[in-house]
Amino acid sequence: MQGNHLRKGYAFNRTRQAFLATELSVADTHWSRLRGLMGTTPTAFRFGHGLWIVPSHGVHTIAMRYPIDVIYLNQNKAVVHVEENMKPWRIAPIRMDAVTVLELPCHTVWNTGTAIGDVIEISFGVQKKAVEAV
């Protein structure tokens, strides 16, 4: 992943007991949210990677070259909407009940069984513990 997402962490589906991302970056500035994954390659955004967009009610895949999975989270980090296999050059629906969005490699939702209502744990600064648990 490119260098503008400096803090690293993980996203763990507590309901399914499955890691969504063990190399999670955060986009929490205007520029980093707007840029998102634009210009990245599928090899740089492989399984285990993720981008947490804070705050966000929806995303786009404009200027992307590969599909992604998108998970919308409310203030309690519960899943309120899922977009699987979102193709490049699309605009996802706006969900006002979402406060953040996770962008993940395609098939992450299916591989983990993530569904609406699942609770997601997101943490930064404990990367080593997350990786050891995988």
User: Is residue 79 in some structural domain?
Assistant: yes
Q: Where are the alpha helices (DSSP H) in the chain?
A: 30-35, 108-112, 127-133
User: Is residue 60 in some structural domain?
Assistant: yes
Range of the domain at 111: 8-133
% of the chain with per-residue pLDDT over 70: 88
Give the number of domains in the chain.
1
Whether 3 shows a pLDDT value over 70: the answer reads no
User: Is residue 103 in some structural domain?
Assistant: yes
User: Is residue 33 in some structural domain?
Assistant: yes
Residue 88 tokens read as 């490049």
The reported pLDDT for the residue numbered 73 is: 98
User: Is residue 1 in some structural domain?
Assistant: no
Supply the mean pLDDT for the chain: 90
Q: What is the average pLDDT across 65-83?
A: 98
> Sorting pLDDT into bands at 50, 70 and 90, what band is 7?
low
User: Is residue 77 in some structural domain?
Assistant: yes
Residue 59 tokens read as 């995303």
Assess contact for 112 and 18: CB atoms under 8 A.
yes
The reported pLDDT for the residue numbered 34 is: 87
Q: Taking Cα atoms as reference points, which of 21, 61, 66 lies closest to residue 42?
A: 66
User: Is residue 31 in some structural domain?
Assistant: yes
The CATH code of the domain that includes 55 is: 2.60.120.1140
User: Is residue 104 in some structural domain?
Assistant: yes
